[in-house]
Each structure stands twice: as structure tokens, then as C-alpha cells.
Amino acid sequence: MSVGAKVASQSRDVWQKARQGRRPRVVLGAATVLVLLSLLFLPLNGQPHADWLQFFGRFHPLLVHLPIGLIVLLPVLEILGTRRPALREAAGLVLQLALATVLVAIVFGALLAYGSGESGTTVTRHLRGGILLALELMLCVALRRTWLEAQHTRAYFVMLGVVLLTLTWTAHQGGSLTYGSGYLTRYMPPAMKRFVAPSAVSSHPNSFFAKHIYPVLDTKCVSCHGTTKEQGGLRLDSYESLMAGGKDGIVIAPRNPDGSLLLKKVTLPPSDPHFMPAEGRAPLTPDEIARIRAWVSAGASPEARSVPGIFIAGDEEEAPPPVGDYSALMPQIQQMQMSQGAKLVPVSAEPSDGLILRTTDVASTFDDAQLAKFQKFALFIVEAELGRTAVTDDSISTLIQFKNLRALHLEGTAVTGRNLAKLTSLPQLAYLNLSATKVSSDALGPLKNMPNLRHLYVFNSPAEPASADNSVRSTQ
């Protein structure tokens, strides 16, 4: 055999071996592409599925950060690798790892979306963005091999730029799922917000719904029930969506708060699996629940500027003064909570912000005598949640010792208003809820001169006005 024939034979052998070695990668790549494309047809219709899918799917937020870091590191290694060949070799490994971890994150993300029943435009965009990112990384793998062999093509670096843009867009969609689409605009200056993100309720900007109901839904509910997600087929990002309800039916029944599913779920015990907001998000405050309940009782209008039984003097409130440091009393506070069942909860990590007296767990048995035992902490209590407890008019004599009290909940109690005039000695009292009591309008007379009382709730009581016309106190 001639030398030329031997060389040709050896060349054919090398080509055949390379072809055989490339064939499994091609098959694996084609199968991966088919799986990714099949995920585009995943039925994200808001219907939850097996719990085990959610269990594994909830690892997605943990896994997704690894490929993000690898992708951002990749162009840095490629640039530095022009002078240090070892870094160029490392870049190849990083690219392979980025692709592998993106594929894993996509699978777990699909399990989370399908298992939990999450749906909505942003969920779909986030999933499609991840799939597109994986396909682009696969193309980068092929282009990088060509780039290393040819040393002149720019296609690889162009594709790296596209990958970074896709990563940014996809990550933004994921952030919107976690924090809501209004995360960056929620506290934006009003003038800028009107230009960048007009309110969903701008058709009636001065209505009670726009000023006092929608902000609650936007802050506490829309991140899971808005344009980003539609859990249970329910959106709460506009009045029309709120009234339309979801897969479980209507959530607001005008003039029937007890029959409104939204109010039922936000007032369940936090340990209840149906409690909302879910996922450990901040629950609605008693004040927010009271506003929604009163608004529903009044007919759930999108246009009405006031609601009978709710008096709101204004929206701007000065920062409350500090109440002192209760740290030295913590052993006594803890002992009191163990014996009484009621809790003294810090307003914040700063002791001077005061304590909140909460009786939710023992409301039915918490009476005037038990309230009197908290007098030793009176100067540090800034809010007393006594709604639906067994306290009576006699509790007022104890409450006036709480000189720094700013908010007082007495809704659903046996209070008749006999001693309400004594509350005028509380200079910081700004919120008073007397709904569902027997308090009459005459008993409210002395309270009209309290300078800081800006929020007064008397709906479903004899003091409730016959119409909404005179239900908002003048700010003048």
C-alpha cells in the first residue's frame, strides 16, 4: 500500500471515529430540544395537581440562582482567557455547567407551576424565557467549538450577548412572580407613578375603593392574584377582576360580608391551610379587614367616596412619639403571656415603638378583669386589639391608663358607649373601632373634639349613618 493510500485510510478512520463520537451528543441534543419544546404546551390553567410536584418544584428558587451566576461569569472568563489560556478552558466547563443547571432549574420550575396551579402571563413568560435561554446556551456550546477551531468567527460572542439579555428578561419575570409587578413602582413618587405606572383604579381616583381598598389588595394580594399570577383563576388588580371572582366563584358578595369568600379567607386562623395571604406573606391588619368589611356591607361600590360607619379625617398622619424602653419588663411580659394567653407583640425591633395587645387566641374568654392585669405595661401599649372579646363598658376605666394608646379595637363587644367620654383623655388615640356594638350616635358626641382621632368605625351599630353622605369627617 502506498503512503498516500495509508494517509487516506487513516484520515477516514479518524473521521469515522469523530462521527461516531459526535452522534451520541447530537442525539442527546435533539432529545433535549424536544423536551424543552414540549414544555411550551404544559397546561398552566390554574388547576393545582399532586402535592409531590409542589414539593420538588419548590426547590426551583434555590436552584435557579446557580445558572445565573455561571452565565454572568462566562463572558468574564472568555475575555480574561485571551491572555490566560487556563481561564479559557475554565470558561468551557462553566458553559457546560450553566447549560446543565439551567435545564435542571427549568424542570423544577415546570413542576412548581404545574403542581401549584399557578397561571398568568408572567408565569408563562418566565417559563418560556427559561426554555429560550437553554436553547441559546446549547447554540453557544456549538458555536464555541467552531470559534476555538476557526479563531475568527464573532457569532459566539454575539450569542453570549443575546444570552445575557434573555437572562435579564427572564429573571425580571421571575422577580415579578415573587414580589409583584408593582415592586419597583409601589413606592414611586406620585408624579412619576402617574406617568410610568397609571393606577388600575384611576377611573375613580377619589373613591373609597381607590383610596382605602385597592391599596390593601395591591400590597397584600396582587403578587399572587394579578397579571403576574392568577392562582385559582382569581385576579385582584382591578375592581372588575375583583368582582368577577375566580374558579371558586365570586369572592365579594355586596352587602353580605359574611358571605364574601375573600373576607372568610383573610379572617381564618393563620394555621388554616386556606388562610390568605398564603406562603407566609404579611396578613391583613384588623384595620384593613374592617375597611373591606364595611365597604362590602355598604354595597362594594367602585365610585362611592365614603362608606357609612367609617369616619376618616385624612390620609396624612404625623409620626407617633416614642413610648420608652420596655426591655427591662420582658421577663414579666413573657410570664404574663403564659398565664393570660393574650400577647404583647412588639411593633418593631425598636422598643420605643411600643407594644400591641393581641387577644385573638383567647378572645371569647378575655374580659375586663384580665385586661386590668395589663395595667403595669400600660405606658408601652400603643394598640389594643380587643375585638370580639368579653370586655364591657367597665374596660374603659382601664384603657384610659394606656396614655400612649393609638389604636383601639372594640368591635363586636358588649360596649354600649356609657363611658366613651373618658377616652378623650387619650391624647394619641387615632383609631377607634366600635362596629357591631350598641354604641349610639349620642355617645360619640364627646369624641368629636379629640384632635388626633382620624379613623372612627361604627358600621353595623346604632351610630351608623343612614347614608354615606355624611360619613366622612371634614378635614378642615
Binned average pLDDT, 10 residues per bin, the chain of 476 residues? 49 48 68 82 73 84 90 91 85 92 91 76 83 92 82 80 92 73 58 54 70 81 66 77 82 89 87 77 83 89 82 62 88 81 86 89 89 92 92 95 93 92 92 91 87 86 64 34
Alpha-carbon distance 357 to 365, whole Å?
15
For residues 344 and 286, membership in a common domain is answered with no
Alpha-carbon distance 43 to 41, whole Å?
6
For residues 138 and 59, membership in a common domain is answered with yes
For residues 174 and 52, membership in a common domain is answered with yes
User: Tell me, what's the pLDDT at 7?
Assistant: 43
Q: Which amino acid is at 6?
A: K
Q: Three cell numbers at 164? A: 445575557
For residues 171 and 54, membership in a common domain is answered with yes
Burial 133-151 (b: 16+ CB within 10 A, else e): bbbbbbebbebbeebeeee
For residues 349 and 404, membership in a common domain is answered with yes
Q: Which domain holds residue 210?
A: 190-305
Q: Is residue 314 part of a domain?
A: no
User: Tell me, what's the pLDDT at 133?
Assistant: 93
User: Tell me, what's the pLDDT at 476?
Assistant: 26
For residues 139 and 58, membership in a common domain is answered with yes
User: Tell me, what's the pLDDT at 303?
Assistant: 85
For residues 287 and 161, membership in a common domain is answered with no
User: Tell me, what's the pLDDT at 399?
Assistant: 95
Query: Do the Cβ atoms of 237 and 222 come closer than 8 Å?
Result: yes
For residues 136 and 215, membership in a common domain is answered with no
User: Tell me, what's the pLDDT at 45?
Assistant: 65
Nearest partner of 314 among 455, 467, 457, judged by Cα = 455
Q: Whole-prediction pTM value?
A: 0.54
User: Tell me, what's the pLDDT at 185?
Assistant: 58
| Count of structural domains within the chain | 3
Alpha-carbon distance 346 to 357, whole Å?
9
Q: Is residue 243 part of a domain?
A: yes
Query: Do the Cβ atoms of 309 and 439 come closer than 8 Å?
Result: no
Q: End of a domain among 305, 338, 355? A: 305
User: Tell me, what's the pLDDT at 469?
Assistant: 40
For residues 175 and 200, membership in a common domain is answered with no
The answer, yes or no, to whether the previous bond of 277 is cis (omega within 30 of 0) is yes
Residue 412 phi, psi (nearest 5): 70, 20
Alpha-carbon distance 411 to 264, whole Å?
17
For residues 151 and 112, membership in a common domain is answered with yes
Residue 277 phi, psi (nearest 5): -70, 145
Q: Is residue 36 part of a domain?
A: no
User: Tell me, what's the pLDDT at 13?
Assistant: 52
For residues 158 and 243, membership in a common domain is answered with no
Q: Is residue 31 part of a domain?
A: no
For residues 212 and 233, membership in a common domain is answered with yes
Alpha-carbon distance 313 to 228, whole Å?
35
